[in-house]
Amino acid sequence: MHLALHEVQKQFKCELCEKSFVTKRSLQEHMSIHTGESKYLCSICGKSFHRASGLSKHIKKHQPKPEVRGFQCTQCEKSFYEARDLRQHMNKHLGVKPFQCQVCGKCYSWKKDWYSHVKSHSVTDPYR
């Protein structure tokens, strides 16, 4: 029973490529790949995105990383390119998990991990 709560239920299935999605909105956005209606196109590799934020994040992958990771953890050997990543990393050393699921109470150090978990509880995404 407990495991069932954490399984992602992907009930929305693309009839063209069989890919499944947690939300109907995600399926609708995916369909634009097949219809060629994606609004945001990467000029470097041609990958398309439904939102400007997705393209923006993707473009960073094409940019070279800085030579030096300027944010060094004082507790271990890890270093980071951005201060926010170091701050979130420090949460693990300190045992801080500020992101809590309101459904089951599970806590996370990283917002992205919490967000992925929260979406697994429902086919609708309450945080959009």
- Cβ pair 107, 4 in contact under 8 A: no
pLDDT tens profile 6-53? 455 778 888 888 788 788 887 887 777 777 676 788 888 877 777 788
pLDDT tens profile 54-86? 888 888 888 877 677 889 999 999 998 889 889
Query: Measured at the alpha carbon of residue 121, what is the angle toward residues 128 and 15, in degrees to the nearest 5?
Result: 75
Strands (E), the chain: 12-13, 20-21, 40-41, 48-49, 71-72, 79-80, 99-100, 107-108
Q: pTM of the predicted model, to two decimals?
A: 0.39
User: Rounded CA gap, 77 and 99, in Å?
Assistant: 25
Domains of the chain: 10-62 (3.30.160.60), 71-119 (3.30.160.60)
